[in-house]
Amino acid sequence: MSFKPKVALAQDFLLQLARLPVSMHAKVMKWAIQFQADPTSSGINYENINGARDPNLKSVRLDKDWRGIVFKPSKGDVYVLLYVDHHDDAYRWAENRKLTINPVTGAMQMVMLEHVAEQEADRGALEQNASEYAAPTQSVEPAPSPLFGELSDTELMSLGVPEELLPVVRKISSEEALDALQPRLPAEAYEGLFLVAAGDSVSQVLQARETRVDQAIDTSDFVAALATAESQSRFVVVDDDEAMQAIMNAPLAQWRVFLHPTQNKLARGDRSGPVRVLGGAGTGKTVLAMHRAKWLAENRALGGKKVLFTTFTRNLALDIEENLKTLCSADTMAKIEVKNLDAWVGGFMRARKLEHRIVYDRKQDGALQAWQAALATKDATLDLPDSFYSDELEQVVLAQGLTTLDQYRTARRVGRGVILSRAKRDAVWPVFEEYRGQLASRKLKEVDDAYREIAEMIAIEQGSQLGYAAIVIDETQDFGPQALKLLRAMIAHGPNDLFFVGDGHQRIYSRNRAAMSRCGIDIRGRSRKLYLNYRTTDEIRRQAVALLEACEIDDLDDGHDESKRYKSLSHGPAPEVRMTSGLEEAARVTIAFIQQWRSVQAENESLSFCVVSYSEKSRDALGQQLQSAGIASVPITAQSNHADARNVVHLATMHRAKGLEFDCVIVVAPENYLGPAEETAGQRRLLYVALTRAKRGALLLQV
């Protein structure tokens, strides 16, 4: 019996594949597929690389000019396709690189040794300069102390620092120096170091990322090393032609193949109950949720059960369904139902022949008439404005699902600002009762009441009859208490029941703040965080976070979240925040910004743009101005986000932009959105969401 050797692809190989000239692309694909089928074939000539620091790196000839760089250890049947380039460039790439196994975590790591040498040389030169020019009598500023001086080598390596980089990491004495080293560090090492710099202990970091460092590691066993979540964040084992082809056909869809170790661990395996994953914008929550749904569908959706993937907004559900189709086989897809919660509720009501229509907006049609009729009954002696009644209805009566005066008399009204005596509560309540009566006579129902009533129906029938093996929830921050209670009711308590991802920074439907624990969802011991922002440059991320500096951010439960520990993996220009005289000037600046970025885009590149505005009216006005300047645009609506549209500028309201991403984003907002933080938290969250849609460039215009 013969065993096929293991073949893996490195992330660098795929990134390089995406950069290849069209003429080489097909050739490399063909070669890689043949290589995967039989890396021991006598037709493959592994050549040593003169001067290579790692004797296991070999060069393989593709044609007269092109070479593949392959890792082929002397022990074990493992082959890793690392890189491909012109002969000389490929050799240069390989010369100072070394593929090693971290002796503490057991993860495979590619180390650039030249960097170690460079740093030593730079430091030597700096020190020499300093001693030459320092005036002997002057007092010299004490050298800043190293950030990681207290950590042992083992602790540093347990965070993911390669042994070869220990000397460089030991010299880091500022956040800037750490950031400068980031491209050379494995992602888990960079993340671990910035968490420690922010105040976490090594054991806290390891516990949160579920990394064990108590096992003996064989640093020559590359097969075992490939099995770690850390290795899988940069190497993928490919078992057959089909898998190889699928990965190479979309080399830039990295999220499908290389998960961050925390994403990887959370996506797979059983969890004893509800899980909550927090993460700032762009930290890969939706990607994680999709991989989790896939794993659950493939491994735990048995006996005809399904996995429900739900979101708050319809657009995002559509987007996620499209992405899931690229991640899952048809068989797996058949076991996943993707639906925003309101669509699910609509379907449930139709299936049960429940006649009511749902009210999402009290300012329209029958709901408006019902509300006005209810307000007409208010007790004039109370001297409370209409806005008090609508806020009280949303934030207390509907949010808590109060249906009787007795319940209202004892209800929590934390954060409402106005204290109501029992007598006043008695006088206020009839307005809400009247409103529900008015709605009922029109066959209407507030959405929170619909959630509550359906949850009650399901509880009686037992949620397990809905046939879900698990429910995965994106955008959790926008679900209010009744929605969370409904989700809880939709599935029986048990392993893998509920998997929530969300971000308090992005709550833009503020009436919906909820604490999971008060909705019957116990996440104790099962809450995790993602810290690395894969989408937004650190410059844009910092600007977006700065907008929320004085605002309190919750953790979707009863605690707080903070922004200090998030970081981005990419860098670019800092976004400009500019005051304009109004929409016309904002349009002119927008046009100049778009033209500027288009003028520097690469030949075969088509940058995506979105102008994100504060209202549909301003969005359309900006669209017209772009049109007059010859720039085609398309608005994003509830029905479509036009993800495939090329060479057009997208236009969106801030709410519609949620969950999407573009290369460049221009945000247009009224000046007062940046008023005193305590009065503008809601608007600032909208700005945070809008700005963090940008991958590379952003501009914030105040009008």
Binding stretches for ligand ATP (CB under 6 A): 254-255, 258-260, 263, 279, 281-287, 503, 506, 534-535, 659, 661, 692
Yes or no: say if 458 and 489 are a contact pair by the CB < 8 Å rule: yes
Q: Minimum distance between the CB of residue 636 and ligand ATP, rounded to whole angstroms?
A: 14
- Amino acid of residue 511: R
With respect to ligand ATP, which residue has the nearer C-beta, 59 or 568? 568
* Residues contacting 242, CB < 8 A, separation 6+: none
| φ, ψ dihedrals at 498, nearest 5° | -130, 135
Task: Please state, in angstroms and rounded to a whole number, the distance separating the CA atoms of residues 687 and 549.
Answer: 13
Q: Minimum distance between the CB of residue 285 and ligand ATP, rounded to whole angstroms?
A: 4
With respect to ligand ATP, which residue has the nearer C-beta, 66 or 688? 688
286 is in an annotated binding site: yes
Sheet strands (E) in 49-121: 57-61, 66-71, 78-86, 97-101, 108-112
Count other Cβ atoms within 10 Å, centred on residue 56: 17
Q: Cα separations (Å) of 182 from 115, 178, 564, 568?
A: 12, 6, 17, 10
With respect to ligand ATP, which residue has the nearer C-beta, 54 or 188? 188
Q: Minimum distance between the CB of residue 502 and ligand ATP, rounded to whole angstroms?
A: 8
Q: Angle, nearest 10°, between helix axes 341-351 and 447-461?
A: 60
With respect to ligand ATP, which residue has the nearer C-beta, 341 or 370? 341
With respect to ligand ATP, which residue has the nearer C-beta, 253 or 645? 253
Q: Minimum distance between the CB of residue 44 and ligand ATP, rounded to whole angstroms?
A: 30
Q: Minimum distance between the CB of residue 73 and ligand ATP, rounded to whole angstroms?
A: 26
Q: Counting Cβ atoms within 10 Å, is residue 133 exposed (0-12), middle (13-18) or buried (19+)?
A: exposed
With respect to ligand ATP, which residue has the nearer C-beta, 623 or 659? 659
Q: Angle, nearest 10°, between helix axes 422-441 and 365-375?
A: 150
With respect to ligand ATP, which residue has the nearer C-beta, 287 or 471? 287
Task: Please state, in angstroms and rounded to a whole number, the distance separating the CA atoms of residues 394 and 325.
Answer: 37
Task: Name the nearest CA neighbour of 91 among 120, 119, 54.
Answer: 54
With respect to ligand ATP, which residue has the nearer C-beta, 160 or 282? 282
Yes or no: say if 613 and 601 are a contact pair by the CB < 8 Å rule: no
Q: Minimum distance between the CB of residue 675 and ligand ATP, rounded to whole angstroms?
A: 24
Q: Minimum distance between the CB of residue 289 and ligand ATP, rounded to whole angstroms?
A: 8
With respect to ligand ATP, which residue has the nearer C-beta, 436 or 529? 529
Yes or no: say if 494 and 273 are a contact pair by the CB < 8 Å rule: yes
With respect to ligand ATP, which residue has the nearer C-beta, 313 or 613? 313
User: Over the range 444-459, which residues count as b (16 or more CB within 10 Å of their CB) and which as e?
Assistant: bbbbbbbbbbbbeebe
Q: Minimum distance between the CB of residue 278 and ligand ATP, rounded to whole angstroms?
A: 10
Q: Cα separations (Å) of 698 from 132, 533, 608?
A: 44, 16, 12
| φ, ψ dihedrals at 267, nearest 5° | -70, -35
Q: Minimum distance between the CB of residue 323 and ligand ATP, rounded to whole angstroms?
A: 9
Residue located via tokens 């060479």 = 647
With respect to ligand ATP, which residue has the nearer C-beta, 260 or 567? 260
Task: Please state, in angstroms and rounded to a whole number, the distance separating the CA atoms of residues 200 and 471.
Answer: 32
> How big is the chain, counted in residues?
703
With respect to ligand ATP, which residue has the nearer C-beta, 260 or 485? 260
| Strands 662-669 and 357-359, bridge-based pairing | unpaired
Q: Minimum distance between the CB of residue 478 and ligand ATP, rounded to whole angstroms?
A: 11
What SS3 state is found at 570? strand
Q: Helices marked H in 236-364 — which ranges? A: 241-249, 254-257, 261-267, 285-299, 314-327, 330-333, 341-351
Q: Minimum distance between the CB of residue 230 and ligand ATP, rounded to whole angstroms?
A: 12
What SS3 state is found at 60? strand
What SS3 state is found at 267? helix
Q: What is the DSSP string of 147-216?
A: TTTTS-HHHHHHTT--GGGHHHHHT--SHHHHHHHGGGS-HHHHHHHHHHHTT--HHHHHHHTT----S-
- Amino acid of residue 206: L
Yes or no: say if 149 and 167 are a contact pair by the CB < 8 Å rule: no
280 is in an annotated binding site: yes
With respect to ligand ATP, which residue has the nearer C-beta, 320 or 487? 320
Q: What is the DSSP string of 464-529?
A: GGG-EEEEEES-GGG--HHHHHHHHHTS-SSTT-EEEEE-GGG--SGGG---GGGGT---TT-EEE
76 is in an annotated binding site: no
282 is in an annotated binding site: yes
Q: Minimum distance between the CB of residue 241 and ligand ATP, rounded to whole angstroms?
A: 24
Q: Counting Cβ atoms within 10 Å, is residue 64 exposed (0-12), middle (13-18) or buried (19+)?
A: exposed
- Amino acid of residue 128: Q
Q: Minimum distance between the CB of residue 161 and ligand ATP, rounded to whole angstroms?
A: 20
With respect to ligand ATP, which residue has the nearer C-beta, 281 or 396? 281
Please work out, in degrees rounded to the nearest 5, the angle formed at the alpha carbon of residue 341 by the alpha carbons of 336 and 344.
Answer: 70
Bridge partners, 554 (sequence order): 560
Q: Counting Cβ atoms within 10 Å, is residue 390 exposed (0-12), middle (13-18) or buried (19+)?
A: middle
Q: Which residues are annotated as a binding site for ATP?
A: 279-286
Task: Detail the residues annotated as belonging to a binding site.
Answer: 279-286
